[in-house]
Amino acid sequence: MDASVTPIPDKPGLSLAQTTDFFYPLVDDPYMQGRIACANVVSDLYAMGVVNCHNMLMLLAVSKDMTDKERDVVIPLIMKGFQDTAREAGCLVTGGQTVMNPWVTIGGVASTVCDEGDIILPEGARPGDVLLLTKALGTQISVNAHQWMEEEEGKLWSKIKGVTNEAEVKAAYRATTLSMSRLNYIGAKLMHKYGARACTDVTGFGILGHANNLAQNQILAVDFKIHSLPIMANMVKIAKACGNMFQLLQGYSAETSGGLFMAISEDGAKSYIEEIKKLEGEPAWIIGTVEEGNRSASIVENPTIIEVID
């Protein structure tokens, strides 16, 4: 499961749901990096249908190689981004740990006390359900392409500059930053409203890696068949120019603070997509089906590519 769920002794029906995560900075703006880190941590609760986060701890490593000025500018901005996003999630950062380290890292611990009705266990998919995704794929490619562009003379920029340009890379980078910093809070609330039966969020193992993990956890013997891949504009051609580096179309390109990937009834999915667009102004997509099978996931040959333009 995405989060640890531990029954509380002597409190029948109550459990502690908790998750932790941290990673290295991947965007230039320290404030947005703090936002992304917080959104990434709390997303694992949202993937379990847990909407209310009661407490956040911050895990922060400050690089010992920073100058005093760099530290005094960058670190407060990271912390502010993390704290502001925690407030959006309805909780406060009440503590944590800060250490010196060769590299900057940022993450945290999200905790909440909940009852059984607050949790959607990731195991109830049924044949006839559809698969729904709430954020576009391609974040890793977008962030890497932007880094290569800034290096200018690097070999990797030389690989892709024949198929893209600075304007496309910058546009994708902006869209990616906003996507990664957006909480899956509304998405988690709508999971309850429209009866999602199993969910995970898409992060480091890519869409197919997480789909496989979710399929293996189902009570019924079902298969997940992915027929469509919503991908940020221009990321497919950049991925192809890099050979097999990212495995985007194979479903294994890593994502950061990605969308919710869930099994839900077809009618529920249609209503979910309409309402999340109304509430957040953001799309979601039906990308596959749930069929009788052997608890596996796959992407069909020549899937439909949905180019997502911000």
DSSP 122: T
| CATH number assigned to the domain with residue range 130-308, chosen from the 4 options 3.30.465.10, 3.30.160.250, 2.40.50.140, 3.90.650.10 | 3.90.650.10
Tell me the C-alpha distance between 21 and 127, whole Å: 33
> Among 259, 309, 291, 253, which residue's Cα sits nearest to residue 300?
291
| CATH number assigned to the domain with residue range 4-118, chosen from the 4 options 1.10.357.10, 3.40.50.2300, 3.90.1150.10, 3.30.1330.10 | 3.30.1330.10
**pLDDT, mean of residues 65-72:** 96
In tens, the pLDDT along 201-238 reads 999 999 999 999 999 999 999 999 999 999 999 999 99
The position carrying tokens 């986060």 is 53
Cβ-based neighbours of 249, under 8 Å, separated by 6 or more: 229, 236, 239, 299, 303, 305
**pLDDT, mean of residues 72-86:** 97
What are the sequence ranges of the domains in the chain?
4-118, 130-308
Res 152: pLDDT: 67
Tell me the C-alpha distance between 185 and 183, whole Å: 5
> Among 50, 40, 60, which residue's Cα sits nearest to residue 199?
50
Cβ-based neighbours of 132, under 8 Å, separated by 6 or more: 196, 260, 261, 262, 263, 264, 269, 272, 273, 284, 285, 286, 287
**pLDDT, mean of residues 80-104:** 96
Average pLDDT taken over every residue of the chain: 96
DSSP 229: E
pLDDT greater at residue 11 or residue 291: 291
Do the beta carbons of residue 40 and residue 20 sit within 8 Å? no
In tens, the pLDDT along 13-41 reads 999 999 999 989 999 999 999 999 999 99
In tens, the pLDDT along 106-150 reads 999 999 999 989 999 999 999 999 999 999 999 999 999 999 998
Structure-token pair, residue 241: 């120019």
**H-helix or E-strand spanning residue 210:** helix 206-216
Tell me the C-alpha distance between 230 and 136, whole Å: 5
Res 116: pLDDT: 87
The position carrying tokens 């880190």 is 37
**pLDDT above 70 (res 296):** yes
First to last CA, the chain: 31
Do the beta carbons of residue 106 and residue 26 sit within 8 Å? no
Res 153: pLDDT: 67
Pairing of β 14-23 and β 105-115: antiparallel
The position carrying tokens 């609330």 is 189
